[in-house]
Amino acid sequence: MTYFSESDIQNLNHLYKINLINSCSGYKSANLIGTKSSDGIENVAVFSSVTHIGSSPAMLGFFLRPTTVIRNTYENLKATGFYTINHIHQNITEEAHHTSAKYDASVSEFEVTNLKSEYKGNFSAPFVSNAPVQLAMQFVEEYEIKANNTILVIGKIIGLYVNDTLVEDDGFINLSKAKVAAINGLDGYAIPETKARYGYQRPKELKASS
Amino acid sequence: MTYFSESDIQNLNHLYKINLINSCSGYKSANLIGTKSSDGIENVAVFSSVTHIGSSPAMLGFFLRPTTVIRNTYENLKATGFYTINHIHQNITEEAHHTSAKYDASVSEFEVTNLKSEYKGNFSAPFVSNAPVQLAMQFVEEYEIKANNTILVIGKIIGLYVNDTLVEDDGFINLSKAKVAAINGLDGYAIPETKARYGYQRPKELKASS
């Protein structure tokens, strides 16, 4: 196996390092976060760090750096309190990835890509049209990660839309039926195929040791 | 689309709710975290919340609840300061998932599954043998998420082992070459296939509006 020590990693050139470290944690979720500014300008941006926090209450988290392109998302969700999370699927991976380009806050990514915004009920933030899973989120709290000034944003799910065909009898959303993407590293998009569900695990009976 | 409001979600039966909410964030990373107790007892447990925090310094985070089976992992890494993160691949998904069963701290999951522990250099925590990506981690800090008492553990990468064939010229680790798994919900395992890399995105030139 190839080995990289801590100092090897520190001394890698920038591009090699960000590719390596961004792909070493495994597959990442592939989501588009939609917001609207107080001025009414829509924003949508790709995120690969949306993570399950808890089911009761139903909460998700994601990480961002306030000093990057992602700032529009952060400013909008702090100003309005609301955002959407939308799954990236096979047909929109290229357009979704383009939302990582650094556009000025006055430009909506919905205008410069083929992604279409969509509004549901009286929820103020834009969803991404045709995403197989769409979440209406309300900001709850944030944590500044001291080690590198990243921000963890925690939100609660106040609405969940799922394509009818994806929800199985026990509540499981079959993501592979919808060709939902997973992200590898900074810019790799993969389409998983579900192989197995193994259910809730109970301990095996162990032989008493003598 | 099927719609679940916040109160719909709250009122779902427990099993349906945990299946639904655990699968609504998209695909999750599939990792085994290895630790050793101060008494020398090895522990290995499946986690689906390992997330990239930053590349410089190289850091990853994961979430856990101190009151579940996962407690052994937490107690060991707090006591020793060290843990490993190992990628779950196609051949070990079933054995890996079984580590979610609630064994007493005196039982090592390496004894009740076919997973084999492996030691490298003078690093004290056990790696999972044959995992295509293995990370030696040092605890940095933790955050208690007030909204539900979950704990976010942040660690830095002090060693990274990758199968030789996976690292591309620019540092990208091609996870699909190694049949690395992604997790759907609580118990679904999928094997992604990388379709495309889109590279770093720059803004399109916009036509001046009149």
- Residue B5 within any structural domain of the chain: no
Q: Is the pLDDT of residue A173 over 80?
A: yes
Do A3 and B121 form a contact (C-beta atoms < 8 A)?
no
- Tokens 């998983």 label which residue? A192
Domain that residue A168 falls in: 26-190
Inform me whether the pLDDT recorded for B194 exceeds 90.
no
Distance from C-alpha of A153 to C-alpha of B142, rounded to nearest angstrom: 15
Find all residues with CB under 8 Å of A7, minimum gap 6, and list them. Answer: none
| Mean predicted confidence (pLDDT) in A157-175 | 97
Instruction: Output phi, psi for A106, to 5 deg.
Output: -80, -10
In a mutational test of the B interface, the residue from A20, A62, A68, A149 whose CB has the highest number of chain B CBs within 10 Å is A20
Torsion of CA A6, A9, A10, A14, to 10 degrees: -170
Percent of chain B with pLDDT over 90: 89
Extract long-range pairs of B99-104: CB within 8 Å, 24+ residues apart. Answer: B99/A201, B99/B32, B99/B44, B99/B45, B99/B46, B100/A200, B100/A201, B100/B45, B100/B46, B100/B69, B101/A201, B101/A202, B101/A203, B101/A204, B101/B69, B102/A202, B102/A203, B102/B68, B102/B69, B103/A203, B103/B69
Average pLDDT of span B30-55 = 96
| B44 inside domain | yes
Q: Do B192 and A187 touch (CB under 8 A)?
A: no
The predicted model gives A81-110 an average pLDDT of 95
pLDDT band at A210 (very low <50, low <70, confident <90, very high): very low
Other C-beta atoms lying within 10 Å of the C-beta of residue A92: 23
- Residue-wise pLDDT for A40-50, tens only, equals 999 999 999 99
- Under 8 Å CB pairs connecting chains A and B tally to 386
What is the rounded distance in angstroms from the CA atom of residue B88 to the CA atom of residue B173? 15
Q: Is residue B18 part of a domain?
A: no
Q: Would you state the structure tokens that stand for residue B110, as one six-digit string?
A: 């390496």
pLDDT band with cut points at 50, 70 and 90 for residue B68: low
pLDDT above 70 covers what percent of chain A? 96
**Is position A3 within any domain?**
no
DSSP state string for chain B: -EEEEHHHHHHS-HHHHHHHHHHTT--EE-EEEEEE-TTS-EEEEEES--EEEEETTEEEEEEE-TTSTTHHHHHHHHHHSEEEEEE-BGGGHHHHHHTTS---TTS-HHHHSS--EE--TT--SPEETT-SEEEEEEEEEEEEETTTTEEEEEEEEEEEEE-GGGB-TTS-B-GGGGTB-EEETTTEEEEEEEEEE-----PPPPPPP-
More confident call, B207 vs A30: A30
Residue B164 resides in a domain? yes
Whether B106 is covered by a domain: the verdict is yes
Whether B1 and A161 lie within 8 Å, measured CB to CB: yes
Q: Quick one: closest CA in A to B57, which residue?
A: A10
State the average pLDDT over residues A36-58. 96
Between A99-113, B13-27, B167-181, the lowest mean confidence (pLDDT) is in A99-113
From CA A93, how far away is CA B137, in angstroms rounded? Answer: 32
ipTM over 0.90: yes
pLDDT in tens, A8-18: 999 999 999 99
CA distance, residue A177 to nearest chain B CA (Å) = 11
Residues of A in contact with B9 (CB under 8 A): 58, 157, 160
pLDDT in tens, A196-207: 999 999 999 876
Q: Is the pLDDT of residue B67 over 70?
A: no
Cβ partners under 8 Å of residue B6, min gap 6: A58, A156, A157, A158, A159
Please name the residues in contact with B210: beta carbons below 8 A apart, sequence gap of 6 or more.
none
Q: What is the CATH number of the domain that holds B178?
A: 2.30.110.10
Q: Looking at residues B26-45, what average pLDDT do you find?
A: 97
Task: Name the helix (H) or strand (E) containing A195.
Answer: strand A188-197
Taking contacts as CB-CB distances below 8 angstroms, the residues of chain A near B84 are none
pLDDT in tens, B92-112: 999 999 999 988 888 999 999
- pLDDT of A186 above 60: yes
pLDDT bracket for residue A155 (50, 70, 90): very high
Q: How many CB atoms lie within 10 A of CB B38?
A: 9
pLDDT in tens, B114-148: 999 999 999 999 999 999 999 999 999 999 999 99
Residue A58 lies in a domain: yes
For chain B, the domain total comes to: 1
Flag whether A195 is in a domain.
no
Identify whether the C-beta of residue A72 lies closer than 8 Å to the C-beta of residue A105.
yes
Chain B closest CA to A193's CA: distance in Å? 5
Which of B131, B136, B161 shows the shortest CA–CA distance to B82?
B136
Output the pTM of the full model. Answer: 0.96
Q: Is the peptide bond before A66 cis (omega within 30 degrees of 0)?
A: no
